[in-house]
Amino acid sequence: MGTFLSVFQFQVELGNISANLKKVEEIKSLIPEGGLLLLPEMFCCGFDYPNMEKLAQASQEVLDFLSTLSKERKAVIVGTLPLKEGNKLYNTAVVFDSGKLIAKRGKIELFPLYKEPQYFSPTEESDNRVIETTAGKIGIVICFEVRFNRFTNSLRREGVQIILVPAMWGIERREHFKVLTRARAIETQSFLIASNSWGKTGKTTFGGASGIYSPWGEILAFAEDGESFLTAKIDLEEVERVRNKIPVRF
């Protein structure tokens, strides 16, 4: 039958939750039933630091939206948003499967260039784990973390099949993003999907280059620029075929 992996690359409006959710709502019919959709990092608001506390207070609206979307499409939906726990803010990926919130994964390596450590707290290394979903065994590596292969190597040791990279990656480092995401697919012999935002959000221009890659490193779908919805049908058995063909120890 196969599994459908999808990515939505779009221009995030800084601090405007309703506008960003509307953009995702508009592509709802494109999401294959029973598939997996990855949204960009902080897809609902971007890094609107002066208003981040207020935006985190509106997180339930975003969670309810993702739950409904996941339930309607009978799909796995993943994206990150600001969540507050106690007196700390976290950049947190949430995983919905057929309407249910089944996992959270906080960002561990915060990006100094975007001043993330000044506003967010890192989570523990134990947050980096494989998550069982109806679409397969997934692992999440958030944006800057794709530079650190300890995350993807750890997921590989746990038997990951699909690695997800939600990102807000600047255009000046776009070539890094293209190479790193494809390389992580090849070295872990896993499917990898990367969803980056595109265009100007606030004062920063983001670089797109979202893609879907096979365990062999093939480019199954790719969008350099512009608003794009990508989908690829995959066979999860390819993961084991590639790993058996070229055994690699982790």
* pLDDT at res. 38: 99
d(CA 106, CA 95): 11
Strand partners, 233: 4
Average pLDDT value over all residues in the chain: 97
The predicted-structure confidence for 22-75, as pLDDT tens digits, reads as follows: 999 999 999 999 999 999 999 999 999 999 999 999 999 999 999 999 999 999
In the chain, where are the structural domains located? 3-245
For 137, the 3-state DSSP assignment is strand
Contact 193, 38 (CB under 8 A): yes
d(CA 234, CA 1): 9
Handedness of CA 202, 55, 76, 64 (dihedral sign): negative
The predicted-structure confidence for 183-208, as pLDDT tens digits, reads as follows: 999 999 999 999 999 999 999 999 99
The predicted-structure confidence for 146-194, as pLDDT tens digits, reads as follows: 999 999 999 999 999 999 999 999 999 999 999 999 999 999 999 999 9
Q: Which residues contact 86 (CB under 8 A, 6 or more apart)?
A: none
Contact 250, 157 (CB under 8 A): yes
* pLDDT at res. 250: 86
Between the alpha carbon of residue 164 and those of residues 151, 159, 174, 178, 188, the distances in Å are: 12, 14, 17, 14, 13
Contact 125, 108 (CB under 8 A): yes
Backbone angles phi, psi at 36, to 5 degrees: -135, 130
| Superfamily of domain 3-245, CATH level 4 | Carbon-nitrogen hydrolase (3.60.110.10)
* pLDDT at res. 107: 98
pLDDT greater than 80 at residue 1: no
DSSP 76: E
